[in-house]
Chains A and B, each alone.
Chain A
Amino acid sequence: MEILVCVKRVPDTAENEFQLNSAGNDLDRDDLVYSVNEWDNYAVEEAIQIVDKVGGNVTVVTVGDSESEEVLRREMAMGANNGILLSDDAFEGSDGKGIATILKGEVLKGKYDLILTGAQADAAAGQVGGMLAAMLDLPYASLVNKIEVESDTTIKVGREIEGGNQEMNEVDLPCVLSIQTGINEPRYVGIRGIRKVAQVEIPVKDAAALGIDPSSVGDAGAKVKRVDYFVPELGAGAEMLEGSTDEIIAQLIERIKSKGGLA
C-alpha cells in the first residue's frame, strides 16, 4: 500500500507560553519552540504499522519553508521512506483550502492508496483532510482511531465519536483519513535515528512543479484570513491563592470543605 501522510511544523503547546508581539497582531515568534504536530506522529506511526503488515511505502509531505524540512526528517527517522517539501513564496498566507489545493497537486503526481493527516493542527480547524478528499472526490473519515485493512479495495475504519463511543465504517480505497491521538503509541525517535536520515535528499516542489495556479493559493486565494491574535478575558477567572505552601493548603482545604468536597 502506498501511503501519503501530510504533516505540519507547529509551535509546541507543551513547550511554549504564548505571548503577543508588541504590535499585538501576531504571536511573539522569536523564541517559540517548534515541533511536529502531535496528531501527525500518530498518523505516521499508523502508516508505518500498516506498511509493516501489508507492504508498501510511507511518504511524508509538508507545506512550508526550508525550516519544515526538520519535521520531515523526524518522521523519516520514525520509519517513513520518503519526504517531500512543498515550498513556494506563493503558498504563504494560504487558508485551509489553499493548503488542501497544494497537497492535491502532490497527490495527483503520485499514486497513493491511502492519504492520512492529523485530526487537527495548531489552528485547531481540522479542515485540510476533508477538503483534500472532497477536491479529489475520494471518501473521507475524520477522527479515526482504528484502521483494519480488509482488501485491496476497502478498509474498515473506526471513528471516535462523542462519549468515547466508536463509529465503524467500511471505506473504499483510495481514501483520506484524519487520525486521532491514541490510535497507537508513536515510536520514540532518538538522536541516532535523526542522524541516520540527516543526509537523505528531500525533493522540494514549487507551484510550477505541482501545476498549481499561484493565484488560487496563498494570500491571493484565501477567503478566510486571520486578522489578529488576542488573549481573551473569559469572565472573572480563578481566585489565585498565593503564599507559602502551608498557607495555600490551609486556604484550599477550607474552600473545598465549604463546597462539600471534604468531610
Chain B
Amino acid sequence: MTQIFVYVTHVAGVADDIASEYITAAKKIDPAATVTAVVTGSGADLDKVADSLTSKYAEVIKIGNEALAYPNAEVVRKALCNVLDKSAVVLAPHNTFGMDMCPGLSIKMDSAFAADAVDFEGVADGKLKLVRQELGGAVSTHVACDISNGAVITIRPGAFAPIDAAAGGKVTDKSGEAGDLTAKRRFLEVVQAEVGDVDITKSDVLVSVGRGIQEQENIEIAQELAEAMGAVVSCSRPIVDAKWLEKSRQVGTSGKTVKPKVYMAMGISGSFQHMGGVKGNPYIVAVNKNPKAPIFQVADVGIVTDILEFMPALTEAIKEM
C-alpha cells in the first residue's frame, strides 16, 4: 500500500483547487493508498485551511511557524524534510511554487522526481507509470518512476478532475518537528503586475497573437482585425518576451486569466501555460500553419494557414459585412 502526502498550497487560509484534484491523482496512483494532506503556514490562516481540509482528507498534517508565513520554497522544503516519511510519495502542484521547491526536495529526501504529471496509470513492481508532455506539448510520454524508495511528483493543476470526498478527518499538529528553518534565501516582497492601458480581462472577444506573427510590425495586422471585430489584442508569452506588446496583454498562468466569449488564437501553439489563462469555456478559433499544433486539440474550430495572409482577408470580409 502506497503512502501519499499531498502538499496543499493556499492563499489567506483558502486551499487552492489542487486540494480536490489530488484526490483523483492519488486514486490513480493506488486506489488503496493512505492519503494525508500537508499544509504549512502560520497563525489563523493555517488553522483555517487545515480545518477546511478535514472535510476532504482523513488525515491533515499542519506545520506552523512564523518563518512559513510566506511559502519560501527553501523553508518549506526544510520543514517537509523533517516531518514527512522519506519513503512516501509526495505530490505538489506544478506551478511556480512546486517548480521552485520540488526538485531540491527530492534530492534532500533521496527520492525519485517526476515533474508535471498529467495522468497516472498505477504502480507495478515498485514503478509508477505516469504521463507527461515534452517539447511544448507536441508529444506525450509514458514515464516509469521507481517509487520504491520514495518519490516527489508535481502534478499539472487542472489535469485531474476535482473530487469532493467527505472525510471527517482530523488535524495533527507537527509544528514541533519542523526543525531549523533558517534559510540562505529570504523572501522580501511581492511586486504586483503593472496595469496596462488596456484591460484584456474585460473584453468579450480577444484576438490573441503568438509566435506566428513573426515580426513586430505585423502586430498591426492583428490590431486591424481586432478593431473590425470590436475586440482587443492579447498575446502569448513569446510576444511579451520579445517586447512587442506589454506584459498586461499576456494571457496565461504567468499573465492574465481571461474569460471572453470568443478567443481567436492566431499563430499560438497552445501550450498548457497559455491555455491555463483561458477560462470560462470560450469559443476558441485557432489559426496556425502547423497542423500538429496542440491548439487544434483544444480549439472549437481550426484553420491550417498562415495568419499573416488570413487575418487581413478576415478583416476585409468583416468590414464588408
Binding site for B on A (CB under 8 A): 11, 13-14, 17-18, 20, 27, 96-97, 100, 119, 122-131, 133-135, 138-143, 156-172, 175, 181-182, 185, 223-232, 234-235, 237-241, 245-246, 248-250, 252-253, 255-256, 259-263
State which of A238, A249, A262 has its C-beta within 8 Å of the C-beta of B296. A238
Please report the C-alpha to C-alpha distance between residue A229 and residue B254 in the assembled complex, in whole angstroms: 28
Does more than half of chain B's interface fall in helix, strand or loop, or is it mixed?
Answer: mixed
CB distance from A161 to the nearest CB of B (A): 4
Please report the C-alpha to C-alpha distance between residue A27 and residue B286 in the assembled complex, in whole angstroms: 26
Please report the C-alpha to C-alpha distance between residue A142 and residue B104 in the assembled complex, in whole angstroms: 11
Does B256 lie at the interface of the complex (its beta carbon under 8 Å from any beta carbon of A)? yes
Please report the C-alpha to C-alpha distance between residue A156 and residue B191 in the assembled complex, in whole angstroms: 13
Query: Which A residues are in CB contact (< 8 Å) with B183?
Result: 139
Contact, CB under 8 Å: B192 / A165: yes
CB distance from A6 to the nearest CB of B (A): 13
Contact, CB under 8 Å: B143 / A226: yes
Please report the C-alpha to C-alpha distance between residue A134 and residue B114 in the assembled complex, in whole angstroms: 16
With A167-B187, A224-B143 known to touch, is A248 a contact of B135 (CB < 8 Å)? Answer: no
With A18-B138, A238-B297, A263-B230 known to touch, is A223 a contact of B112 (CB < 8 Å)? Answer: yes
CB distance from A144 to the nearest CB of B (A): 10
Selected interface stretch from B45-53, B59-67, B95-103, B171-179? B95-103
Contact, CB under 8 Å: B188 / A161: no
Residue-wise, chain B 2-36 has the 8 Å CB interface mask toward A (1 for contact) of 00000000000000000000000000000000000
Please report the C-alpha to C-alpha distance between residue A163 and residue B103 in the assembled complex, in whole angstroms: 23
Query: Which A residues are in CB contact (< 8 Å) with B231?
Result: 261
CB distance from B125 to the nearest CB of A (A): 13
Query: Which B residues are in CB contact (< 8 Å) with A261?
Result: 204-205, 229, 231, 261-262, 283
Contact, CB under 8 Å: A224 / B303: no
CB distance from B11 to the nearest CB of A (A): 10
Does B161 lie at the interface of the complex (its beta carbon under 8 Å from any beta carbon of A)? no
CB distance from B190 to the nearest CB of A (A): 5
Query: Which B residues are in CB contact (< 8 Å) with A166?
Result: 190-191, 193
CB distance from A64 to the nearest CB of B (A): 17
Interface size for B (C-beta < 8 A) is 95
With A159-B96, A167-B187, A228-B141 known to touch, is A182 a contact of B297 (CB < 8 Å)? Answer: no
Query: Which B residues are in CB contact (< 8 Å) with A225?
Result: 143-144
With A224-B143, A261-B262 known to touch, is A171 a contact of B185 (CB < 8 Å)? Answer: yes
Query: A140-B73, A162-B95, A168-B191 are known contacts; what are 4 more A-B pairs with Cβ within 8 Å?
Result: A17-B292, A159-B100, A181-B237, A259-B283
With A124-B133, A181-B241 known to touch, is A260 a contact of B106 (CB < 8 Å)? Answer: no
State which of A160, A169, A181, A239 has its C-beta within 8 Å of the C-beta of B300. A239
Binding site for A on B (CB under 8 A): 72-74, 95-97, 99-108, 112-116, 129, 131-136, 138-146, 149, 183-193, 204-205, 211, 229-231, 237-238, 240-243, 247-248, 250, 253-257, 261-262, 269, 283-286, 290, 292, 296-305, 309-310, 313-314, 317-318, 321
With A129-B103, A159-B100, A167-B190 known to touch, is A237 a contact of B296 (CB < 8 Å)? Answer: yes
State which of B97, B104, B134, B243 has its C-beta within 8 Å of the C-beta of A134. B104
Contact, CB under 8 Å: B96 / A142: yes
| Nearest opposing residue in chain A for B119, CB measure | A232
Please report the C-alpha to C-alpha distance between residue A119 and residue B95 in the assembled complex, in whole angstroms: 12
With A124-B133, A170-B188 known to touch, is A229 a contact of B237 (CB < 8 Å)? Answer: no
Contact, CB under 8 Å: A239 / B301: yes
CB distance from A251 to the nearest CB of B (A): 8
Please report the C-alpha to C-alpha distance between residue A197 and residue B187 in the assembled complex, in whole angstroms: 41
Please report the C-alpha to C-alpha distance between residue A128 and residue B115 in the assembled complex, in whole angstroms: 11
Contact, CB under 8 Å: A139 / B262: no
Please report the C-alpha to C-alpha distance between residue A172 and residue B74 in the assembled complex, in whole angstroms: 12
Contact, CB under 8 Å: A255 / B141: no
Please report the C-alpha to C-alpha distance between residue A229 and residue B73 in the assembled complex, in whole angstroms: 32
| Nearest opposing residue in chain B for A255, CB measure | B301
Contact, CB under 8 Å: A227 / B129: yes
Query: Which A residues are in CB contact (< 8 Å) with B262?
Result: 256, 259-261
State which of B99, B146, B191 has its C-beta within 8 Å of the C-beta of A142. B99
State which of B96, B107, B108, B135 has its C-beta within 8 Å of the C-beta of A162. B96
Contact, CB under 8 Å: B106 / A131: yes
Please report the C-alpha to C-alpha distance between residue A77 and residue B284 in the assembled complex, in whole angstroms: 42
Please report the C-alpha to C-alpha distance between residue A237 and residue B261 in the assembled complex, in whole angstroms: 19
State which of B73, B243, B309, B317 has its C-beta within 8 Å of the C-beta of A185. B243
With A127-B113, A262-B318 known to touch, is A169 a contact of B186 (CB < 8 Å)? Answer: yes
12 A-B pairs with CB atoms under 8 Å apart are A130-B102, A162-B253, A164-B248, A167-B189, A168-B187, A223-B145, A224-B114, A224-B143, A232-B140, A237-B297, A238-B296, A255-B283
Contact, CB under 8 Å: B240 / A182: yes
Please report the C-alpha to C-alpha distance between residue A3 and residue B221 in the assembled complex, in whole angstroms: 42
Contact, CB under 8 Å: A125 / B115: yes
Contact, CB under 8 Å: A18 / B139: yes
Query: Which A residues are in CB contact (< 8 Å) with B138?
Result: 13, 18
Contact, CB under 8 Å: B136 / A168: no
Contact, CB under 8 Å: B95 / A175: no
CB distance from A140 to the nearest CB of B (A): 6
Query: Which A residues are in CB contact (< 8 Å) with B298?
Result: 234-235, 238
Query: Which A residues are in CB contact (< 8 Å) with B186?
Result: 169-171
